Every structure is written in C-alpha cells, then in structure tokens.
A and B are shown apart, each in its own frame.
Chain A
Amino acid sequence: MADHKISRRTLLTGTAAAGALSLTGVPARAEVNWKKYAGTKLEVILAKGPRGDNLQKYVKEFTELTGIQVESEQIPEQQQRQKCVIELTSGRPSFDVVHISYHVQKRQFEKAGWLADMTPFMKDPTLTAPDLVESDFSAAGLQYAKNDKGQMLSLPWSVDYFILYYNKELFQKKGVAVPKTLDEMVAAAEKLTDTKEGTFGFVGRGLRNANMTLWTNFFLNYGGEFLDAKGNILTDGPEAIAATKLYQTLLTKVAPPGVAGFNWMESMASFTQGRSAMWIDGVGWAPPLEDPAASRVVGKVGYTVVPAGPKGQYSATYGDGVGIAAASKNKEAAYLLCQWIVSKKQGARLLQTGGGVPFRNSILNDAEVQSGVKMPKEWLQSVIDSGKISKLGLPVVIPVAEFRDIVGAALTATLSGADPAAELKKANDQFRPILERSEKA
C-alpha cells in the first residue's frame, strides 16, 4: 500500500515552489470555463474554401472541448456574401457566427451595426484564453477587425497577401534574375516573352473587378492612397495613372493574348502549364501549383514578395475574419467558437496545408508550426516577408463592389488601347457620386 503521508521535506518544497511562482509576477488568473455553454447549438455561415474546410474537418474537437453543437454550411463566396447581407438586413439571421470578407464587407457591416462587440469578451478571463491578445494580431488584421471606436467586431482569421510567383525553369533558360523592382519586372518579362514558343513574361487578372486586386499592388508601390482625409476617392491622380500605365504595358506587351478576360482561374491555368513566367496573385495558390495532378510546374515555382515601386514596397493585403451576429442569442458560446477558429491549433493546420495564413504572429513565427508547413520553404518566407510590407489593398468604403467594377472596367479598357488618364478620370467621375451617396445614407 502506498504511503500517503506528506513528509516535511515535500511540504517545504511545495511551499517554496509556490512562493517562487508568486515572485515571478504571474497573476492568479481565472481559467476559461469552456464547458459553461455546453448544450448550446450554434449556426455558422461560411464562404466556401480551405478555411471553411479546415473548420468543418476539426469542429468535433470544439464540441468535445465545450459541449457546444455546431451546424455549419459553406456557400460559394459571392452567394454567401449576398445571403449574409439579406439575412442580416432582415434582423433575424439564421446564423450566430458569420465568416466575412474584410476587403469587401468591413465598412458595410460596421455601418449597419450587424456585428456584436467582442471587446468585453476579450477582457473576460473566463471566456478568453490568456494567449489570445489583441497585440498578437498583425496590424492589418486589427485595422480590419476594429471599428472607428476601437471595438473589436470580429476576430481576424486568414490574411491574403499578394505575392509574385515565378517559373524558375523559364528564368534559368533565359538567364533572367528575379526582379526586385517593378521596372526590373517589366524588363524581365520582356526577356521571358517568346511568342514563337507561346510563352509570356507575365500573367495576371485582366477581368473587370477581379483586376483591381492586382492593380492595387502597383498603385500602392507608386505611392498611391485610396482616400484623402475627407474621404474623397483619389484613384485618378498621378500615382494611379503611373500604376495603370504599368498595368497596361504588362498586360498588353508581355502577357498572353486574351488576358483582358482572365480571372485568377485562367491566369493560374497559364502559369501551371508553364506558359507564363510570372504571376502576381493571392498567396493561397501554392497548393494547386504544387499539386502534380493539376500542375506542370511542380517544384519549379519560385515565391517572392511583390517587387518594389518608386515610392515603396507593399503587398496588397486582403483578408477574412469571423464575427458574431449582433442578433445572436448565444453570443458567449459564439465567441468561444470564434476563439477556437483563430486558435493556434487551427491556425497552424491552416498554414501547414497552405489553405490560408493566420493573422496571429504567434502562429506564423512559431518554429514548430513552420516546420510542419507542407508547402515549399520559399513560399513560407514570402508569406512572412509580405506580412512586413502589408497594406490594405482596397479602400474601406461601403460601395467596394462598385469601385472595383467601375475602376476595373477602366483598367480593362486600357488593355484595348484606351488612355489611362482619361479612363481613370471618367471612372472617378462615375464613382464619386456613388461614394457620396453611400456615405450620406
């Protein structure tokens, strides 16, 4: 039989240890009561994609942890956005937790007051694990998640930086160095274009609306700002014109024919078939590029940051987050779920499969997490480097879709030879009243 008597020595050791602990200054902290909302049922609406998959695959772990049941549905992005807006407008959404695209919906959701304020939850130690602190999120993430009053209206989930993908084999064949500046990129693209062989130096989105996410990389690197202090749109100034000229040159001189109608899908097809040497797009395409079943350039892809422009080097940044519907009756339980979604474990899984990039620095900079990344090391490096030069890629206004459509159409028009300055001016004249109307409303 074991002896259960406490010896004097053990007692002393224990006391000393407790005393030492109090000396380290760690405050006595209440534990998160994960089981407090057991039995609650939550509804989640997700945009279809790797983030949604990652949640659905492991959500049982959350249920085991908390006893909260989660029903979730994934809907294609555009339709999901519409469904959310329509349901939230009705005042009685069918979901508690909503997956939002910051670069499209941030301002709209804030202005309409559709999201619950998470700030008090984040301060409550019985609801929030000690490692979840605001300062752990990247600057872009906080910019997206907070409103003007500094309230956290969502938790930043996954960030999308734009990076430069390049085909190492084609670069080697033509003896071209990886460009560090936008000018070098044009020169490299010219050398890499070989119309006889049907290979081109550059490919990227030309399709109206979609093309804006590419163009803003150039715009930011030429020193462009979307709005002035009074909230007027600035996309017809000299920076915008210079960026558009670059865009026009790249997409008409060194890009595959028909690029004016390309979205990411067609661009990726051209790149994965080895028919284009460079491609600037979101960071999330590494998995298909490295998939032998879908790509001919497996192992030959280089990943790097968007080249610098004359006024700086930025990576246009987009992203999504999770928020709680203000109309939800289960806000605390929903908050636990949001917290789990952006937790270290889930974030690491997302990063390691290349399905997304967590906004949390503690995940991104964790050596153990990094070592588990299945994508090439260069990809991870480009992600980390992009985080340092990240800048929001679209103006934070309500009519983002109109902005993308109108300025995007102007860009597409320049691909058929229209003058950049005239097109941008026309687009701005068209967009200004729309913006004014939406801000007044």
Chain B
Amino acid sequence: MSALTQSTPGAAQSDAAPEKELRPPSYWPFVVPALVVVLAIIIFPWVFTIWMSLNEWKVGSSTTFVGFSNYLRLTSDPRFIEAIGHTLVYTVLSVLLPLVFGTFAAVVFHQKFAGRGFLRGIFIMPMMATPVAIALVWTMMFHPQLGVLNYLLSLVGIPPQLWVFHPATVIPSLVLVETWQWTPLVMLIVLGGLAAIPTEPYESAQIDGANLWQVFRFITLPLIMPFLFIAGMIRMIDAVKSFDIIFAITQGGPGSASETINIYLYSVAFTYYDLGYGSAIAVVFFLLIVLLAAVMLYARQRMVWTEIASDA
C-alpha cells in the first residue's frame, strides 16, 4: 500500500506544498455534539449508577461510602437470587413460545386463502394493545372463581386452574399473556422472511417427493433462520426487561413467585427508596443482559459461519 501511495501524483504534490498549510483536516469539532450527548445520557448515568451502588444511599437520609458491601449483600439476599431464577425461566419461555407459535402462524398466513389479509390484521391486534390495559383484562380472565378461562376449561371437562393466583402456575400464566401479545411480532418478521425465499428449492423438493414436514425442516426453516434469530433477539431483550405485564397482573406475587429482577429492582429503588442497593442490582442486571446478548451474538456468529461453510 505504502509503495502505491508514494508513487501517486497527488502525494508528490503534497510533498511539494509548504508544511504550514499541511494541517490535517480536523474532524473533532463535528464529533463534539454527539460526544456530549453520549456522555450526558449514557456514560454519566452509568458512572453515577456505579457510584451510587458503592454508597449506602437512602432517600431522605445522608449517604455514606460503603465500598462493595451492597454487592456482598446481594449474594446473601434470597429474594434477589430467586428473582434471577424467575427472570431466566420467564425469559426462556417467553422467547421460545412466541418463536414456535409465530413461525407456525407465519407459515399458515403465507399460504394463499380467502380473507387472508383481514385475518392477518386480526391476528396482529394484540401487539397493538397497551400492555397495562390488557394486563387488567387478563387479571379478570384469570380469576379462579369468575374468570372466563376456567369457564372455557369447564366446557371441555378440565378442572378449574389457579393461573396467576398460585406460585407454581404464575410464571407460565404470565408467559401465556406475553405469548399472546408478542406472537404476532414474530409472525410479521418471519412472514417477511418467507416472502424473500425463492420458489426453486420448493419445486425441486416437490420433484424429489419431499413431504410437508421435510420441506419445512430442510428448506423453509434454514432459510428463515436469520429472521428467527432477529425475532429471538428482540424477544429476549423485551422479555428480560419485561415489567408492565408482571407488575400490573401480580406485582411479583403470590408471595414473590413471579418477582423478576426488574420488579425487585423497582421495589428496592422506588418503594423502599434504597437507591444504593437498587443501583447495585441495576449494575448486576446490566451485566446479566450483556452476558445474554454475548451468548446470542456468539451463537449468531457460529450460525453465519456454518451457513458459509455449507455454501462452500
């Protein structure tokens, strides 16, 4: 490269020019506004949160520097440890279920049939609703005595369930709401993917006598994988920090059976006004999200690599 540069006429010209005029163009003034914004709204809050987490900081009283003791408190806080478990279970379920149902719905709605556009419109309606509003509706639907869900179960002879009102079933029930609301999003993304698939592989599969499952498993699924990946990523980010639905339906209960890190963090910071400890939770929560994202990115890289490998 350097040899080439030296031999260009332009370079020769600049050599000849007087040195004073040779100031390199300065770009940094253009970066300043963005830098200020980033510093003010991203870096500063983070540094401040970390600083708060190192202090005993209760609203209404003075603050004292306590080093890492807030973090040590986390390790022996049963509610926090339980909350990590709840968050992980909730996240895994509310990523997987919408992915499965959303893909299925996309395959169905990709077929051509009468009224398809209208039905698609109906199907994506849950996504447009306000989470808190639907949470209140679902709370009453879950009511063990009066809810419509137990009535529907009774029609097919299934005994009434306790849904969000029992520690064992509360997380699956909340995931049901989450799935109901976000399956349409996955469907939309996958539909986009399906529309982009060429028809040739399907034609040759037909000629080779592949059945429907084989066509889906060996043609459709690999081709929509990148889209599923994006959908999974969006769902994961949403599910980990899910707050509105859980808060509005159970507030983390019964007991603390559906208390995720986010709900606990909210209680500590804004109900107990323990800002120092709350900040420590926020920092750990952030690290957890970074870790999850790293795992996802790693998986994605591996996937791209296998794709290229299979292409080769």
Contacts and interface: CB of A to CB of B under 8 A. Distances in A.
Nearest to A399: B272
A82 B254 contact: no
A261 B58 CA distance: 30
Interface residues of B, number: 32
B120 interface: no
B233 interface: no
A256 B144 contact: yes
A91 to B, nearest CB: 11
Q: Secondary structure at chain A's binding surface: helix, strand, loop or mixed?
A: helix
B60 A89 contact: yes
Interface string A96-127: 00000000000010011010000000000000
A436 B132 CA distance: 37
Contacts, number: 99
Interface stretch (B44-52, B99-107, B159-167, B299-307): B159-167
Contacts of B139: 265-266
B251 A207 contact: yes
A85 B146 CA distance: 38
B253 A207 contact: yes
Among B60, B160, B163, B267: residue with most chain A CB under 10 A: B60
B227 interface: no
B145 A198 contact: yes
Interface stretch (A44-52, A184-192, A405-413): A405-413
A405 B259 CA distance: 12
Given A206-B254, A208-B256, A266-B143, A261 B59 contact: no
Nearest to A257: B144
Given A198-B145, A258-B165, A401-B271, A108 B60 contact: yes
A286 B1 CA distance: 86
Contacts of A270: 143, 145-146
B60 A261 contact: no
Interface in B45-90: 56, 58-62
Nearest to A112: B60
A12 interface: no
Among B140, B160, B166, B255: residue with most chain A CB under 10 A: B255
Interface of A: 78, 82, 85-86, 89, 108, 111-112, 114, 198, 206-209, 256-263, 265-266, 269-270, 273, 275, 398-399, 401-402, 405, 409, 412-413, 415-416, 438, 441
11 contacts: A208-B255, A209-B251, A260-B253, A265-B139, A270-B143, A270-B145, A273-B145, A275-B145, A275-B146, A409-B256, A441-B61
